[in-house]
Amino acid sequence: MTDQWSLNRLNFEGWWEGRAAWFGRDADGALDLTSPMQVIDPTTYAISFSDPDNGVWDGSGLFFAPGGTATYAISRSSYNAGGGCWQFPGAGGQSSLVWDRHGSRFGHEINLFQGRSRSMLVLLWEPDGTSWSLQRVGAVAFRCRHAPAAELTRPTCGTPEALLTPLRGWTGTRQSLVPTPGVDGRISASEPVVFAPELFLRHACSAVFPDGLVASVPERLPEGSFQLEVGGLLAPDRFQQISLQFNADGRLIRWERRCFQPPNP
């Protein structure tokens, strides 16, 4: 079975470039997920490997990095030391493993791949008085330099309901992965599943983003268990969904990946 480092290479290797749209709160503190507060074009991630076990991550047009740039070495030996990185074939990212009430950030990066295109969503919660609120959302429509023209567009839609309702009854598979430090995390066997929009749209804070991305997450982190939902209509006949499940202690217990297609006529 392909290990997590090898899946990381298969998913992320390439020269990725795209338009980054960052959303946040307006002057009155209201969350605005329709009009970006900042657009960075281009944002570039160049991820290369000198051999099967070593590589370099080089980024520019970055929202959080000082000067907008960062470069660092990556390797099999150091990959995922904390257990927050996750990979499925065609999906991957990194997550805060626990909502630390005394911490400063709770964040997640989700990447959905289709061929040599990559749709990335970043979600970031921060303490806000007595609660934790969603402060930043970043959506980046990455394309590899060598992506064919057919991969350069995405279906678009105005509301989460309009995007997801036509997918009701689509069939697919579900797999899961539990947090495991290092490269030995194992993806579960596939199980059949049918898409129901109401199971995705579980939070009042639901929105569509550039590149066919859609999310349903709590605007304020709740006490007790909760679940984050992120998906992407990556092609007219392909929807991919990532669920991040947290227990009552605010600890991440699993990632689930679902892939849906229209049922056969």
- Are 262 and 237 spatial neighbours (Cβ–Cβ below 8 Å)? yes
Residue closest to 240 by CA, chosen among 205, 195, 210: 195
pLDDT score for 50: 97
- Are 93 and 177 spatial neighbours (Cβ–Cβ below 8 Å)? no
For residues 94 and 80, give the distance between their C-alpha atoms in angstroms, rounded to a whole number: 9
204 half-sphere exposure, CB direction, 13 A CA radius: 6
For residues 60 and 9, give the distance between their C-alpha atoms in angstroms, rounded to a whole number: 20
What percent of the chain is modeled with pLDDT above 70?
A: 96
Q: Which residues pair with 139 in a beta bridge?
A: 21, 121
130 vs 155, which has greater pLDDT? 130
Owner of token pair 């290479």: 9
Average pLDDT over the chain, rounded to an integer:
94
Cβ density class 85-113: b for 16+ within 10 Å, e for less: bbbbebbbbbbbbbbeeeeeebbbbbbbb
- Are 148 and 142 spatial neighbours (Cβ–Cβ below 8 Å)? no
pTM: 0.96
User: For the segment 66-116, what is each residue's pLDDT rounded down to a tens digit?
Assistant: 999 999 999 999 999 999 999 999 999 999 999 998 899 999 999 999 989
DSSP string across the chain: ---HHHHHHHHH-EEEEEEEEEEEE-TTS-EESSS-SEEEEEEEEEEEEEETTEEEEEEES-SSSGGGEEEEEEETTTTTTTS-EEEETTEEEEE-SB--TTSS-EEEEEEEEETTEEEEEEEEEEEETTEEEEEEEEEEEEEETT--GGGS-----SSHHHHHGGGTT-EEEEEEE---SSS---PPPPEEEE--HHHH--SS-EEEEGGGEEEE--SBPPSS-EEEEEEEEEETTEEEEEEEEE-TTSBEEEEEEEEEEPPP-
pLDDT for 217 beyond 80: yes
Contacts of 27 (CB under 8 A, 6+ apart): none
**What letter does residue 187 receive in the DSSP assignment?**
P
For residues 186 and 184, give the distance between their C-alpha atoms in angstroms, rounded to a whole number: 6
- Are 230 and 207 spatial neighbours (Cβ–Cβ below 8 Å)? no
Looking at residue 242, which CATH number applies to its domain? 2.40.128.20
pLDDT for 129 beyond 90: no
pLDDT for 264 beyond 90: no
> What is the domain extent for residue 36?
4-261
User: What's the total number of domains in the chain?
Assistant: 1
pLDDT score for 238: 95
